[in-house]
Structure 1
Amino acid sequence: MTTRKKADTQTFEQSMQELENLVSQMEQGDLPLEEALKSFERGIELVRNSQQKLKDAEQKIQILTTQNGQQTLDVFETNN
């Protein structure tokens, strides 16, 4: 298992790896109720911190692509 660090000190990638490990363990259904609850709580903490990191990154990108109130790069659109 990944060494458990405080979620806000982990990189986004480390948080995602720990979250994947937690989900995998929980899907097996072998955890006692108390441990499953602790894993669920840890997962929520990881998700919230990861969402904040993504939001911060998005804001940085927005700042970097805006100059004098004008977008300096074209908006990326997918063809979905």
Structure 2
Amino acid sequence: MSRRPMAEQEIPYEQAREELIEVVRRLEAGGTTLEESLALWERGEQLATVCQEWLDGARARLDAVRGDEAASRD
């Protein structure tokens, strides 16, 4: 499990995804200092982790439902 602050864990998937898109846009546009670019990169990594955790959780829930359905057919 990651060691993000509690507030990070509460970000909805859609909000994290939109912020990640904005971070990528700013990095691609350039014009930021090295320090700003590094901060954006780090934030992007955090947001990517949040999104991945949401997707992993959704997949686990779907797999659990499929497993329950398969078990009930046996």
Smaller-chain TM-score bracket: 0.7 to 0.9
Change (3 A) 1:68 1:22: closer
Listed as ranges, the gaps of 5+ residues in structure 2 are 1-6
- What TM-score results when the alignment is normalised by the length of structure 2? 0.78
- What is the Cα deviation at residue 70 of structure 1? 2.9
Following TM superposition, the consecutive aligned residue runs of length 4 or more in structure 1 with deviations greater than 4 angstroms are none
Listed as ranges, the gaps of 5+ residues in structure 1 are 1-5, 73-80
Identity %: 27
Aligned residue pairs, count: 67
- What TM-score results when the alignment is normalised by the length of structure 1? 0.73
* Aligned-residue CA RMSD (Å): 2.0
C-alpha contact 1:7 1:15 (8 A) present in aligned 2: no
Q: Which has the higher contact order (CA 8 A, sep 6+)?
A: 2
